[in-house]
Amino acid sequence: MNKHNGLKQVKNKTAVSNPPMITDFGNRTISSQNFSKIVTLPKTALTNCGKEATKVNVKLVQDNGERYIKLTPMSEKESGS
């Protein structure tokens, strides 16, 4: 039995994953309001996420040279309100 700091050796398994489903909302205009930039989404964008959200968590994701903004709808419990 091989021991290495009390950890068992795990064989590499290739995970079978489905490609993500992407919904394209088309090109959106970035508007200026005072010192902020605003992008609007259709009402159905958040409704189709399964909840009627009034807040979203916003993250800038940088992965393998790709950069995008990730919006995650938040419930009232998650938002702390």
pLDDT tens, residue by residue, 60-80: 999 999 998 888 888 766 556
Per-residue pLDDT of the chain (81 residues; tens, 9 = 90+): 555 555 555 555 566 778 877 777 888 899 999 999 998 888 877 777 766 777 888 999 999 999 988 888 887 665 565
Coil, helix or strand for 10?
coil
Helix, strand, or coil (residue 72): strand
